[in-house]
Amino acid sequence: MKKTLFSLAALASLAFAAPTAYNYEVTPTIGGVLPEGNLDLKSQLTYGLRFGINLDNTIINQVELGYDRSDNVDYKAGRTDSTDFNRYYANLVKEYKITPEAALYALVGLGYEDVTNAQLENRDSMFAQYGGGVKYWVTDNFALKAEVRHAIKFQGGDNEMFYSLGFTIPFGAKSAPVAVVKPEPKPAPVVVKAPIDSDGDGVTDDKDKCPNTPKGTVVDADGCPKIIRLHVQFDFDKSTVKPAFMPEIQKVADFMKQNPGYSVVLEGHTDSKGSDAYNMKLSDQRAKAVAKALESLGVSAAKVTTEAFGESKPVASNDTDAGRAENRRVDAVFKK
């Protein structure tokens, strides 16, 4: 039975590719049970399988269905017989993310325990349970779960403590929302002979690829905001700029020195891993770190401001490592 269970889990890990967001997960588990003393049972090994259904826009993150089995559990008190246990249960699960890779979770649920050889106070019974654990994503398609549960049987009110280790395989990628593409407005026919510059950015309308640029924005030859995109790599959960990336920041400093009448806005961005609040704070810290690096290169602090956008403005797909790397950036936007 155990060999079959883990063989199916191994095949599942090869069959399903884990997306950033997913609908379902399967978790094979192995652990132990500590029964209450008056049950006259020895501690036992248990193994099982969980199936989780993720929920959106609710206070509960997941509904979980589970099955655990214990084989040949010996009775105490000088008895020589033993029994098997089959346990079926359903849990409501609430997660509390602590880092992009790790989360604590709490659960509460109901179940049914089937005893194949009912002796003493050990009989078939419903039970209630509660517990918690920690979940850690080792890769995008593999997570570890360590958990402790306490179960109270309705028959006699006896208690059992469960502890387990499992590994989670996600599947059922959620469809990305389809972006609504707005048709670009057709330019009105020019009735005057001389070309005009409607948005006042210095590029006439017949050459302006970005009409209605906000006043004061520095633009390139096509009339679009001049942006220097900095892909400065930071250590996990850090905002310190490494010396290896100072040449990228030097490009912004050189431009500012060549154009002393300009100021710069440093816009911080992240990929989609982590919560919105976590990513907003991280993008702000990293934009400010680049601002300090600019000041060390001789750019006046009065000419540098920062804005944080978190994960709200991706320039690539967050479903791949390469796309997420593109989205972890600081953009330098210039103003007059």
- Residues in contact with 4: Cβ distance below 8 Å, sequence separation at least 6, in sequence order: none
Same-domain status, 36 and 139: yes
Residues in a beta bridge with 110: 90, 128
Q: Residues 298, 258: contact at Cβ < 8 Å?
A: no
Residue 12 tokens read as: 């599942």
- Inside any domain, residue 312: yes
Question: Is 160 found in the same domain as 28?
Answer: yes
> What integer pLDDT is reported at residue 5 of this predicted model?
47
CATH, residue 258: 3.30.1330.60
User: What pLDDT, on a 0 to 100 scale, did the predictor assign at position 137?
Assistant: 92
Residues 159 and 294 in one domain: no
Closest of 134, 133, 131, 137 to residue 168, by C-alpha: 137
Domain that residue 240 falls in: 227-335
Q: What is the pTM of this model?
A: 0.48
Same domain, yes or no, for 161 and 259?
no
CATH of the domain at 124: 2.40.160.20
| pLDDT for the residue 108 | 97
Beta-bridge mates of residue 185: none
Q: What is the pLDDT along the chain (336 residues), one digit of tens a residue?
A: 544 444 444 444 443 444 457 889 999 999 999 988 667 788 889 999 999 999 988 899 999 999 999 998 888 766 778 889 999 999 999 999 999 899 999 999 999 999 998 877 778 889 999 999 999 999 888 999 999 999 998 987 788 999 999 999 998 877 766 667 778 888 877 665 677 877 776 777 777 788 877 777 777 777 787 788 777 766 666 777 888 888 888 988 888 888 888 888 888 888 888 889 998 998 898 889 889 988 998 989 898 999 999 999 898 999 998 888 888 888 888 887
Which string of DSSP letters, residue by residue, matches 177-208? PPPPPPPPPPPPPP-SSS---TT-SSS-TTT-
Q: Domain check: are 34 and 163 in the same one?
A: yes
